Structure 1
């Protein structure tokens, strides 16, 4: 992204202010919780990319297999002259499959909250696809109000929300996001949605508790970020990553857990933690066919196609706006 140093510094200060306010509010609440989006600073985004390569983490490779197998079908359903809008783009690895398949794209719009990660990804895409207009948007996709003006030239807008990130949202949040996306994608728009399916709880548990401990590093990086950006003094060795499947709610729940009684300073304020106390960081809801249909209907979408892998671990769903 181009821009004066003053504007860049101001944007960074705004980001840090939002982070501070969310952390202080989350640590003041009962039970304590910090929004999952703050896991994704530059280091957190890199750690998540590493998680996607782990043998236990079936989600990424399974979704990529589905996209590779059915990319031509997705491109045919989208039709020519589209703009591809990706929510939570990360490294845009999966979107490259659709970019390759949708050869006459008007524009690709990656949306991500990590400015540093987004800029690096956009620069790589411009290098690899010199004829593609890449319009990165650094924003929280839950509150995004408009898309770049260049997208208006597209015949239709195709949203892309992979990785089962929809599962990180509470049901009411998921509906709100889909409603907002349907409005931004406009009349005739469509959304390609990645959804993790319900399965053996043991397999789910292993996916979020890998033997190499990369997911634990990802969770505890939130403490490292607070130490760096909010002048906190968390001792990372005094906290542990904790993730488990809740079969009643149909979701993985992720926390960092305090290992001993302690008091921590964050942004000039003191917070006392009891031994065993947990701070929630993330949910990951899992779906069955009925749940996907209910979710789509709640936001006014219709399911046009659903593609899955042979073992039905994961699904890619093509939603259309009537």
Structure 2
């Protein structure tokens, strides 16, 4: 049996909460939530359900994307008056693609102690069971809502050798996978994790093409919350080396094949006729 967590006055505890399965809440997190005076949370209704499950009644203060800056002074005053506080998000670890960054930064600048209470994180949970390389990875969070901006963001990551991790919602998962296929290539290895730690947790492993096809077969598999993991480029261009495929994609969006081939021939010294033929083939696949 663990001893009760000592709660210090004037301290903010950043508490990770379950991403689906309530049994994943740590004893320490439970003790902190029971001991603090006030809980700052993303959605008071959501946090109230967690507290009811724990048998706790607490003063709640909403801190979300739209009011975080306004709440900073209020939180500072509570801490300066000797109260203790916890910060939670709706699920997982606060600040990781969730509100809290500005608040924690401000408290640190005012020399208030900020204590992390670790726990569930969808990123690490998904990677631990994905079977993709995890010695190096980059977390890109949610992609832009607008398709053009999303394409541009993904295109910038095509040659990254690290495993790429994204969050995505049910509203855009099908379209995002389609964009990834177009930019990364249909054969790029990928894993899609859906509804992590919940009853209908599912992992799809294969290529971007096979993963995309699998969730399109069943509309129910397009519901829920998703972590998309894409293998990094297995042979990225070295510094100074020109990636002709990427260059063709950029040029063919603006120029006819003959002109695009001529420009690349000047840059690389490759045969112009062969490059022109490649341009025609790439344009035919577009």
TM-score, normalised to structure 2, is 0.33
Which structure would you say has the larger RCO, counting Cα contacts within 8 Å and 6 or more residues apart? 1
Greater per-residue strand proportion: 1
TM-score, normalised to structure 1, is 0.30
